[in-house]
Structure formats: C-alpha cells, structure tokens
Structure 1
C-alpha cells in the first residue's frame, strides 16, 4: 500500500484523495489553513465542458488593458515589481495566438468531458449530495459585437463536438419564464451542468474522513527533505511527515512550494469574488455568464450566487469592494426585476484561482523527482476540472495508464 501526502486541501487535493482511495492508497491531506476557507467553497459552481478556449487568446491583452482603466471592471493586474509576474505576463502574451488556441481546444475538451463523466458517476453513486443539476449554461450578451464573438465561439464548439445553440432574446426568455431577461441573445450549452460547491467540499471532506483519510489542518509546509531523486518527507509547522508519493495541489501557493524543490512554476493568483442572496421572490433556472460584465449567476442552495472578476494580485486575499460593486451593478442590466441587495464586506467570499500563463493546468511529475506530482493551475475552472484532475493524479501515483494524454499539461513545459 502506497502512502501519499497531498499538500493542499482544495478541490484538486480532495479529489486526488478520493480517487487514490480507490487504488488502496493510504492518504494524508495537509492544509495550511482550514478546510472551510478554500478557494472552491465560493466558486460559481459551473461544470463547463463548453469552456474549451483558453484564457490566453488573441485580443485578450487589448481587452485587459481597456478593463484596467475602471475600478469596477472584471479584470485587473495589481502593478508591482515582481519577476514572477513579469515572466507570467510575457508567457501570457506569447501564448495569446490562434495556434495556441487551436492546440489547446482538444486538451481542455477532453479534460472537461472526463470531469463531467466523473461528476455524473459521483452523483449516481450517491455517497453524498452536492446539488448536481444538468440544466446547461447561458452565455448572455447584450450587443451585436459580443453576438458576433459568441457565434464564432459556438461554431468552434460545435466543430469540436460540444453542442452550442445560438438563441434569440425571445428564446432565452422562454427558457427563463420566472424572471425578465434583458439581452440581445445567448449561446446555450446544453451539456454544461452546475453544483453547490459548499456541499461538494463538505461532502468530500466528510466522506474522506469516514474512509480513513488523515487531515492535517493549519499545517503550513516549511520545506522538503530531499534524498537523491526523491522527496523523503514534508516539513510542516506541525511536524515532519514521510510518504512514498507527494502531490502538490496548493493552488495559488504552489510556486512557493515548488521553488523549494528547484522547480519554477509560472503561476499567478487570480482573485475572484462572490456573494449569495436567498431573499428572492423569483429565481433564475439556468446558470448564466453575463458576458459583457464577465460576471456569473448560478442558482444553488435555494438562492442565487453571483461571482466574477479576475484580479491578478499575487496571494493578496484582501477584498476590493469596488470589484464587488462592478458585479452587483451588472445584475440588473441582464435581470432587471431581480432585487439583490448589495452585500456587506463580511458576506463577500474571495478566493485565489491559480492561473497558468497559457490557460492550461499543470498536471504531471515534477522534474527529476520520481515521487512528486503537481496538480494546480486550473484558473477559473478548478471545480469544473476537479474530478478529472484527481483521477489523473491517482493514475500517475499508481503507475496506471492515464485517462488522457498529458504532455500539454506538463508542469515543466516552460522550463
């Protein structure tokens, strides 16, 4: 029986533990904080095989520069003299090409479809409830320019085998009979789904504990004891622990840990915000991305969660209420009769999505170390890609054939 230490108690770490159990491994999850404070708890909860175009794409830098002029915009890079940020920015620019998008589409598609299949199996298994619903996703747009962009994306999706339907405003309204929807139209992806992330995370932790997984909360990793081509133990604030295999799934903090092993990992924390309202007379039925505002709306837990922004600010976890105001202001532009109160700062969730510069996650072995696997860099799709990531990690640990090819996800691809 292999012993595996997973550094990071977020969605990638927990699903890695889940699938490693199926291979009979002895698993410990090490988390620097509390398991109630991870990035995935406040996620928009969207499971999105539709998202096959990486963040690094033509035109994104121009849009980003324009958005940075507004405090309420959906995108912001905190200016700072930081070599890691400059390298990340250069690599993002370098990969914002049509050729990169073309190469990435089948990778993201296969990863997302594997994840959706595993979510479906998890829901059918019924180990715990996590609010699984297959209602699709609206990509709502309000102007002709965005319509043109989304028609192109729908064409790309259909060509890649992901069903996409371009709808008129009347067709959107017919599918949302309980609230007014003020849009030019939408692209509808019937194959997408959504969950309640809080239930998923709580359910996973409870299930894993019941199955014997050891959880070490408030244990920050200080160093690794290296012997030859393997890591013999993990040195934490609460003691030193030895494992046969180590999985680094520490989200936005992964570069700090990989650096201790001499592995450079270009990655930036992309801060996002969300808030939840339950005081609604009527609710939407289908999750939506409000495209011009780059904000999301997801029905869950009897209420409605709004989320958005991508604030590249390292590991700064402070709340910028101007960004939250931008999300709130967008709601009535798309759903004019929803009465959503502006949240108090204490009720605003924020999390750091680990963003790679090319929009593809890092899943694979860490260079010369024979017993270290990296699983991070999923950006805004951490929850959506969680099961696939965990499955692939478990296959790598146990030397099984992987469910999909991994070269494009190699953690050393920028070395």
Structure 2
C-alpha cells in the first residue's frame, strides 16, 4: 500500500480519499481552508447525466458576447491580458464546434452515469444520508426558441440512452400541483437526481477521519520539489510532507499549484452565486433549471437554494449584486408564487467553478511527473462527477484499468 497526499479537500479530493482508503492506502488530505465552505458546499446539488454538452459549444460565443453587455446576465468573461485568460479563450474559441460537442457526448455521459451509480451505492452506506432524491430535473422554458433547443437536446439524450421527456405546461403542473407556472413547458431530465451538498461533505469528512485519513486544514501548499520525473515533497510553509503518490485536486487554484511544479493547467475560475430561502409550503419537489435565465433552483434541507451565473475572471472576493439581483428577478417570471427577496450580503454564498477551456475535466496521470494524478477542471459539474472521478483516481494510483475510457479527459489532451 502507498502513502498518498491529496492536495485539495473539495468533493474531488474527498471522493478520491474515500475510494483510496477502501484500498488500504495511507492518505493525507491537505487543504488551504477549513473544509466548511468550498465550492462543494454551496452548489445546486444536482447530479446531471443530462449535461453531456460541454460549455465550449456552438452558440456560446455569440450568446456570451450579448450577455457581456448586460450587468445582470448569467455569463460574463472579464477581459484580461493576464491570468491565463488569453490562452484559455483561444482554446475555448477553437473548441466551440459541433464536432467537439459530438466527441464529448459519450465520455461525459459515461462519466456522469458512473458517478450517479456511485452516489446510489454511497447512499446505502451507514451514516451517509445526504438527501439523495431521484426525481430528475425539470428544465423550464418560456420561448419557442428555447423549446426547440431543449427538444433537440432531449432527442439526442434519448439516442444516448438517457431518460428524458418533453412535457407540456399541464404535465409539468401535474407533477408539482402546488407550484404555479408561467412557462410553455419543460424537458424532464428523468436521468438526473439531486442531494444536499452540506450533508454529503460532512458525511465524507466524518467517514474519512474515522477510517484514519489525516485531514490537514488551513495549510496552503507553498512549495513542491521534484527529483527527475517524480515529486519528492510538498511544503506548507516550513513543514515538509512526503508521499509515494500525489493527487492534484485543487479546483480553481489548480493552475497556481501546478505552477509550483513547472506544469501548466489551462483553467479559469467561474464564479457562481447561491442563497437559501425557507419554503415551509414545500411546493417544489423537483429541481428546476430556468433555460433562458440560466438559473438553478433546488429544494434541499426543507429550503430552496437559488443559484446561477458564471463569471470568468480572476479569483476575487467581490460580490456582484447585479448578478444576484438577476437571479432573484428571473424566478417569478417562471414561478409567479416564488418571489425570493434579494438576500443580504452575509447570506450570499459564492464559489469558483474550475472551468477548462474545452468544458471537460482533467483526469489522469501527469505526462511529466509519474507519481502525480491530476483531477480538476470539472466546471459546474464538480459535485455531480465527484464519486466517478474519485474512483478513477484510485484506479490510476493502484495501477488498475479505469472503469471507463478516460482518453477525453487526459491532462495532456
């Protein structure tokens, strides 16, 4: 059995620790925070085999340019000559093709379906009650254009073996009769599920520490040393850590950490916002995606979580209230009886989605350092793809054949 250091304590790092611990390895997880509020906690909690279309897709460039001039729009790229954005942007432009979408569909489907099955298995384990619900997700639309796009997506999904159905407004109302709708209809992503991220993360942390996994909090990796084609040690300040194998699972901070090893990982943080409101009437049981507004709404923990936006920019602590107000304003346009208030600044959560330029995660061994496995770049699907990525990482570390083909996700692609 090997000594393994996992850098990063989000869903990807903890999922990797979970499956590696089952193989009997000695594991240390190092995180620069306290593991209470990273991107894995405040997301929409959606498990999404339906999301087989990567961010880099036809139409995103044109739509993104239009959104650039709307301060409340759901997508924004802040112009910058630094921080890796020019190279990221060029690759994004190059990959925004129909061919890339078609080539990505099967790998993303397989990764997502594997992850969903692993979530189902995990939910059966003792002390792993994280409110997993298999109700699917409803993608609501108000315009004929969005209806056409969703119908096309559903047709392709069915061809890929995914369970989806196009519903009329009346059929949507029958599923959640207490919820008033102002929509044309929706596509029911029956293949999807949802959970409560906070409970999931807490359960993982508790399990790992009970199994002897060492979790080092509030320690930032500041230096890494190599010997030939191997990492020899990592440093958090003056403290040195050594292992046989290393896992890079640092989300949006991955480019900076990789740079310590002389490696380049093309990735930009995509800031997203969310907030919670009480919902004593429990009118919503199926999560919603508001197609035109790009807003996600999820019932969880007796409340409703509203989330959205994708701000591609450097990591920063600023809260753009215009974006938050955009989320709030969009909700009653679809659900007249759901009228969330603009939350106070202290109640707004934000996190940084690690977004690769082609919209696919990086999963695989480093081509330059043979004792390093990279697991990052999952964009908006980090939580959804966490278990599958963790399992694949454990198989790579142990020299086993990966559960699925990972060629599309290799760091050197």
TM, length-normalised to structure 2: 0.98
**1:375 — aligned with what?**
375
Q: Which stretch shifts more, 10-19 or 178-187?
A: 178-187
Matching of residues 161-176 of structure 1 within 5 Å:
161-176=161-176
Q: Does 1:135 pair with 2:135?
A: yes
Decide whether the 8 Å contact of 2:331 with 2:339 is kept in 1.
Answer: no
Large movers: runs of 4+ above 6 Å: none
**1:28 — aligned with what?**
28
Q: Does 1:62 pair with 2:62?
A: yes
Instruction: Kindly provide the CA deviation profile for residues 154-204 of structure 1, in whole angstroms up to 9, marking residues without a partner as x.
Output: 111011111110111111111111110111010101121000001011111
**1:387 — aligned with what?**
387
Tell me by how many angstroms 1:391 deviates: 0.2
Q: Does 1:223 pair with 2:231?
A: no
Q: How many residues align?
A: 413
Q: Does 1:235 pair with 2:235?
A: yes
Tell me by how many angstroms 1:237 deviates: 2.3
Decide whether the 8 Å contact of 1:271 with 1:317 is kept in 2.
Answer: no
Q: Does 1:286 pair with 2:286?
A: yes
Tell me by how many angstroms 1:68 deviates: 1.1
Matching of residues 49-128 of structure 1 within 5 Å:
49-82=49-82, 84-128=84-128
Tell me by how many angstroms 1:262 deviates: 2.0
Q: Secondary structure at the match of 1:65?
A: helix
Tell me by how many angstroms 1:341 deviates: 2.2
Distance 1:268 1:358 in 2: 11
Q: Secondary structure at the match of 2:305?
A: strand
Distance 1:331 1:280 in 2: 18
Distance 1:122 1:238 in 2: 38
5+ residue gaps, structure 1, are none
Tell me by how many angstroms 1:83 deviates: 5.7
Decide whether the 8 Å contact of 1:317 with 1:351 is kept in 2.
Answer: no
Instruction: Kindly provide the CA deviation profile for residues 8-64 of structure 1, in whole angstroms up to 9, marking residues without a partner as x.
Output: 010000000000011101111000111002111001000011111111110111001
Distance 1:283 1:320 in 2: 29
Q: Which stretch shifts more, 363-372 or 385-394?
A: 363-372
Decide whether the 8 Å contact of 1:280 with 1:339 is kept in 2.
Answer: no
Distance 2:324 2:116 in 1: 30
Matching of residues 307-322 of structure 1 within 5 Å:
307-322=307-322
Tell me by how many angstroms 1:238 deviates: 5.8
**1:159 — aligned with what?**
159
**1:146 — aligned with what?**
146
Distance 2:339 2:294 in 1: 20
**1:302 — aligned with what?**
302
**1:15 — aligned with what?**
15
Tell me by how many angstroms 1:136 deviates: 0.5
TM, length-normalised to structure 1: 0.98
Distance 1:390 1:328 in 2: 35
Instruction: Kindly provide the CA deviation profile for residues 277-307 of structure 1, in whole angstroms up to 9, marking residues without a partner as x.
Output: 0144343110010011000110000010000
**1:361 — aligned with what?**
361
Q: Which stretch shifts more, 347-356 or 400-409?
A: 400-409
Decide whether the 8 Å contact of 2:40 with 2:201 is kept in 1.
Answer: yes
Q: Secondary structure at the match of 2:41?
A: helix
Tell me by how many angstroms 1:339 deviates: 3.5
Distance 1:284 1:237 in 2: 48
5+ residue gaps, structure 2, are none
Tell me by how many angstroms 1:329 deviates: 0.5
Q: Does 1:344 pair with 2:325?
A: no
Distance 1:107 1:242 in 2: 34
**2:247 — aligned with what?**
247
Instruction: Kindly provide the CA deviation profile for residues 210-232 of structure 1, in whole angstroms up to 9, marking residues without a partner as x.
Output: 11110111111111111111101
Tell me by how many angstroms 1:406 deviates: 1.2
Instruction: Kindly provide the CA deviation profile for residues 69-108 of structure 1, in whole angstroms up to 9, marking residues without a partner as x.
Output: 1111000111222161011011001000011001000000
Decide whether the 8 Å contact of 1:294 with 1:308 is kept in 2.
Answer: yes
Matching of residues 176-187 of structure 1 within 5 Å:
176-187=176-187
Q: Secondary structure at the match of 1:204?
A: helix
Tell me by how many angstroms 1:127 deviates: 3.4
